[in-house]
Structure 1
Amino acid sequence: MASSSNLKKNYNVFLSFRGIDLRKNFVGHLYTALDQKGVDTFIDSEELRKGDQISATLLKAIEESHIAIIIFSEDYASSSWCLEEAVKIMECKEQGDLKVFPVFYKVEPREVRTPRDSYYKAMEKHEFKFGKDSEKVKRWKKALFDAGGLSGWPLNEGNESELIQEIVKKILTYLAQTALHVAKHPVGIDARVAELKSMLNLKSHEDVVMVGLWGQGGIGKTTLSKALYNAIFRQFDGSCFLANVREASKNSKDLVLLQEKLLFEILSLQQKLEVSNVDRGIILIQDRLRHKKVLLILNDVDDLRQLEALVGGRNWFGNGSRIIVTTRDKHLLTCYGIDQDHVYEVKPLSYHEARELLSNHAFLTLQELEIRTSLVYSVLNCAGGLPLALEVLGSCLRGKREDVWESTLKKISRIPNNTINGVLKISYDGLEENEKEIFLDIACFFKGEDSDCIMKVLHSCDLETTAGFDILIERSLISIDYGRLQMHDLIQSMGMDIVRQECRDDPRSRSRLWWYDDVVDALLSDVVRLANMTKI
Structure 2
Amino acid sequence: MVKLLTNSLLSCSQDRETERFDIGIGDEQAWVTNMASSSSSSAQEKHDVFLSFRGKDTRFGFTRNLFHALCGKSIQAYMDDRELESGHEISPQLMKAIQESKICIIVLSKKFASSTWCLNELVHILECKGNENVIPIFYDIDPCIVRKQSNSYAKAFAEHKQRFKDKPEEVKQWRGALTKLANMCGYDSKNFGDEHELVKKIAEDILLKLPKYQLTNYGDLIGIEEPFKEIESLLSIGKMDVRNIGIWGMGGIGKTTLASLVFQRFSSSHFDAYCFLEDIPEEADNTNHLRKRLFYELLGDENLLRMNTPVLGSRSIQNRLRCKKVFIVLDNLNGRSSKLNDLFEGYQLANGSRIIVTSRDKQLLMTKNCQIYQFNGLYHRDALQLFCFHAFEPNSLATCYEALLESVAHYAKGNPLALKVLGSSLKYKSVEEWKSALDKLKTDPDPEIKKVLRISYDGLGDKSIQGIFLDIACFFIYQVPREKVDSISNHTDATIGISVLIDKSLIIGSKERLGMHDLLRKMAWAIVCDESKDCGNRSRLWNNKDSCHVLERNTGTSAIEGILLDLSQL
TM-score of the superposed pair, with normalisation by structure 2: 0.45
Structure exhibiting the larger radius of gyration computed from Cα positions = 2
Greater RCO structure (CA 8 Å; 6+ sep): 2
